[in-house]
Amino acid sequence: MAYSDKVIDHYNNPRNVGALPKEDPNVGTGLVGAPECGDVMKLQIKVNESGVIEEAKFKTFGCGSAIASSSLATEWVKGKTLTEALAIKNTDIVKELSLPPVKIHCSVLAEDAIKAAVSDWKKKHTEK
């Protein structure tokens, strides 16, 4: 299977790899997928006082397309408000990375990771 240039670029030079402190109240962590399915994504966001995502980090266990989808997701959420971040659709990722049909699940997982990170952040803030 041939990969698109953008997938290869994200695979070779993944953006925003790393971890943010999980316990930080301003950090939301999303962990989606399962090792048995061959894909696990961890996406973290750090939200500032004006409700804007100022930092995003990821780590992904999965194929090249999964790595590229999550790398792209961190790029896209940065500088966005939570509402804007939630508006990112998996189809946008498919389009940007030219993912073939068998790799659409990677983009779905990336969208889920964003949602999970936002909802973790929201949970921390409603509990207070």
Partner 1 sequence: MVKLPIYMDNHATTPLDPRVLEAMMPYLTDQFGNAASRNHKFGWEAEQAVESARKEIAALIGADPREIVFTSGATESDNLAVKGVAWMYREKGDHIITCVTEHKAILDTCKHLEKEGFRVTFLPVDNKGFVNLDDIRNAITDKTILISIMTANNEVGVVQDIKAIGKLARERGVIFHTDAVQAVGKIPFNVNEMNVDIASLSAHKLYGPKGVGALYVRRRNPRVLLTPIIDGGGHERGMRSGTLNVPGIVGFAKATQIARENLANESAEMFRLREKLRATLERELDEVYINGDLQKRLPGNLNMSFAYVEGESLLMGINDIAVSSGSACTSASLEPSYILKALGVGEDLAHTSIRFGIGRFNTEEEVDYVAARVIEVVRRLRELSPLYEMAKEGIDLKSVHWATEA
**Residues assigned a catalytic role:** 37, 106
Q: Pick from 45, 47, 56, 67: which binds partner 1 (CB under 8 A)? A: 67
Instruction: Determine if 14 is a binding residue for partner 1 (CB under 8 A).
Output: yes
CB of 8 or CB of 87, closer to partner 1: 8
Number of CB atoms found within 10 A of residue 25's CB: 12
- Choose one: 48-56, 58-66, 93-101, 120-128; the region binding partner 1 (CB under 8 A): 58-66
89 to each of 12, 112, 113, how far by Cα in Å? 24, 9, 11
Q: Which of 47, 53, 60, 120 binds partner 1 (CB under 8 A)?
A: 60
Q: Which residues, in sequence order, are CB contacts of 51 under 8 Å at separation 6+?
A: 81, 82
Q: Does 11 bind partner 1 (CB under 8 A)?
A: yes
* Residue 37 binds partner 1 (CB under 8 A): yes
Residue 28 binds to partner 1 (criterion: CB under 8 A): no
Q: What is the C-alpha separation between 54 and 18, in angstroms, rounded? A: 15
Question: Nearest 5°: CA angle at 56, between 97 and 73?
Answer: 15
